[in-house]
Structure 1
Amino acid sequence: MILALTGGTGFVGGHVIRRALEAGHQVRALARRPQPARAGVSWIAGALDDPAALAELTAGAEVVIHIAGVVNAPDRAGFAAGNIDGTRAIVAATAPGTRFVHVSSLSAREPRLSIYGWSKREAEEIVAASALAWDMVRPPGIYGPGDMEMLDVFRLARRGFSITPPAGRASWIHVDDLARLLVVLAETPAERAIYEMDDGREGGWTHHAFAQAVGVALGRPIRPLALTPGLLRLGARIDRLIRGKRAKLTADRVAYFCHPDWTVDPAKRPPVALWTPGIASEAGLRETAESYRAAGLL
């Protein structure tokens, strides 16, 4: 079948394309910049604010997977443009009744904690109110080969320490497990459900335990440093001064990092008959560390 994809040039999207091609599907993917030719993939030049490109992307597609979004922005308008307006545009471009798989975020559970979480919840409501045959996924922390968001965590761990939020827990998932779920959902009838998925570790990870697991993946002991919200906010200001718009630690991120429970709701896990995680995070973190080393990033 023809599978239309936003976010195909990104971290998650790249893995979804690989999985979709392995499953025998034809992929049509949106791209802002020219992409190398690839068997089975048709690149559509444009972006989420380009109605003509979206019409070309979705025309005749049996399934649309909406992955594109903004995870970091300087202000509320940036999050709204990337996550709310972009979702509204792709929903409007998709024919009623079309299978639609929407990638949200666990942060949408707590929309008052951060602008990012607010924007992801607003996007969910747009999809839920549509006439599409939708399902949504709320991934927790995503990691794996090719992820630049986690690179700083591994680089700090290589030096023997890790900066974590105050006491709390979080769930994690390997990008390939997430990609596999998205393709499986594309192949199955819509349930109009919101799924929360993870690596299968009951109760998730404490921040301390996950930091130690990164250390084990790198083959060295780690000293996790749990910082107070005030120190994390100070760190966000310093990161902004040093890296400007490329800063990874922002005031908005501090707000949701400090929430004590970012574990998935077991009642919202996908049915076992549909999908189960295949990669334990201990093994996935080792693979990720090896990929960073192979790329000369560590």
Structure 2
Amino acid sequence: MTIAITGATGFVGQRVLALANTPVRALTRTPRPARPDIGWIAGDLADTAALAALCDGASAVIHIAGVVSAPTREVFDAANVAGTATVLAAAQAAGVRRFVHVSSLAAREAQLSMYGASKAAAEQLVMASALDWVIVRPPGVYGPADAEMRDIYKLAARGLYIAPPGRISLLHVDDLAGALLALAGGGPSHRLLEIDDGAANGHSHADFAQAIGGALGRRVRVIPLPVSMLHVAARIGLSAKLTRDRARYIAHPDWVARGGNAALAGVWRPEIGLAEGVADTVAGFRAKAWL
């Protein structure tokens, strides 16, 4: 079985490559060192010839590539919607059997953000396809190479955690990679799955802060961030990562995954709990001198 992967050079994609035990063909925009277990295909989501080569002879596609932060809806749609359309077309033309699409919990509340709306639109394309598809909506994904959450850990190292409202689900990147690889080989079909680390009703931000503090070996004070202040921080550009679009969905009180783990019983289950996963993340950050 050969698996074709988009987004293979990103945070999640790199772990999928590392954990794959079957031949892999991977899309890349920049040259990569040769590896006997990976067939690199030069190109991007707009390159139909590269996508045809990527999908040729593949039994499954894991479509991870996408844009998380962008200034306009048009930029989100170009990557997340049009990009998904070109990958679907290439997969169908190549006779690929299985299509595993990585979406986001943000798609559940598409009205909150341009990002969520673009991911929801991409889901509709996948569901309308003739492929044997499954859609995975990951929650907050974290791990030792996650630059997106680095600022949270750096602030916690100073003893502070700024907590927006609500509860969240979390998932270590290795568990997500394992789920995607398992689904490439089979499992639920024509299903939309919200998966997480197995914690009932997700986590509070205080739970997350406590886990980070435990891994750092220090007390972390949780400072609640009112929704109004979250939007103010986004407007004044307090952090480059806190865009107005991102602030809208961060402010939502319920980002807890629903039911996907049960649907995967016998195919996959999460192995890494919050304390273990955060300790792994802190160790990775320290190894990179990020903390």
User: After superposition, where does 1:279-298 map in structure 2 within 5 Å?
Assistant: 279-298=272-291
Q: Does 1:218 align with 2:223?
A: no
User: After superposition, where does 1:34-49 map in structure 2 within 5 Å?
Assistant: 34-49=31-46
Partner of 1:259: 252
Tell me the secondary structure at the aligned position of residue 60 of structure 1: coil
Partner of 1:183: 181
Q: Does 1:56 align with 2:49?
A: no
CA deviations over 1:21-78 (Å, ceiling 9, x no partner): xx2x111000001111122101111000111111111111111100000111111111
Q: Which amino acid aligns with 1:123?
A: A
Partner of 1:248: 241
Tell me the secondary structure at the aligned position of residue 162 of structure 2: strand
Query: CA–CA distance in 2 between the matches of 1:268 and 1:121?
Result: 21
Gap runs ≥5 in structure 2:
none
Query: CA–CA distance in 2 between the matches of 1:112 and 1:269?
Result: 27
Q: Residue 64 of structure 1 contacts residue 101 of structure 1 at CA under 8 Å; is this kept in 2? A: yes
Query: CA–CA distance in 2 between the matches of 1:211 and 1:109?
Result: 25
Q: Does 1:158 align with 2:151?
A: no
Pairs aligned (count): 289
Query: CA–CA distance in 2 between the matches of 1:269 and 1:12?
Result: 22
Gap runs ≥5 in structure 1:
none
Q: Does 1:6 align with 2:6?
A: yes
Q: Which amino acid aligns with 1:18?
A: A
Query: CA–CA distance in 2 between the matches of 1:59 and 1:114?
Result: 35
Pick from 77, 80, 97 the counterpart of residue 80 of structure 1.
77
User: After superposition, where does 1:18-33 map in structure 2 within 5 Å?
Assistant: 18-20=18-20, 23=21, 25-33=22-30
Tell me the secondary structure at the aligned position of residue 196 of structure 2: coil
Shift of 1:123: 0.4
Q: Does 1:112 align with 2:111?
A: yes
Query: CA–CA distance in 1 between the matches of 2:53 and 2:96?
Result: 18
Pick from 87, 90, 93 the counterpart of residue 93 of structure 1.
90
Partner of 2:190: 192
Shift of 1:268: 6.2
Query: CA–CA distance in 2 between the matches of 1:271 and 1:91?
Result: 24
Query: CA–CA distance in 2 between the matches of 1:125 and 1:269?
Result: 23
Q: Residue 137 of structure 1 contacts residue 194 of structure 1 at CA under 8 Å; is this kept in 2? A: yes
CA deviations over 1:176-209 (Å, ceiling 9, x no partner): 0000011111111551111111111101001222
Q: Residue 161 of structure 1 contacts residue 224 of structure 1 at CA under 8 Å; is this kept in 2? A: yes
Q: Which amino acid aligns with 1:26?
A: P
Q: Residue 16 of structure 1 contacts residue 183 of structure 1 at CA under 8 Å; is this kept in 2? A: yes
Query: CA–CA distance in 2 between the matches of 1:132 and 1:255?
Result: 33
Please identify runs of 4+ aligned residues in structure 1 that moved more than 4 A: none
RMSD: 1.4
Cα distance, 1:270–1:18 mapped onto 2, change above 3 Å: farther
Q: Residue 134 of structure 2 contacts residue 191 of structure 2 at CA under 8 Å; is this kept in 1? A: yes
Q: Residue 187 of structure 2 contacts residue 264 of structure 2 at CA under 8 Å; is this kept in 1? A: no
Identical residues among aligned pairs (%):
51
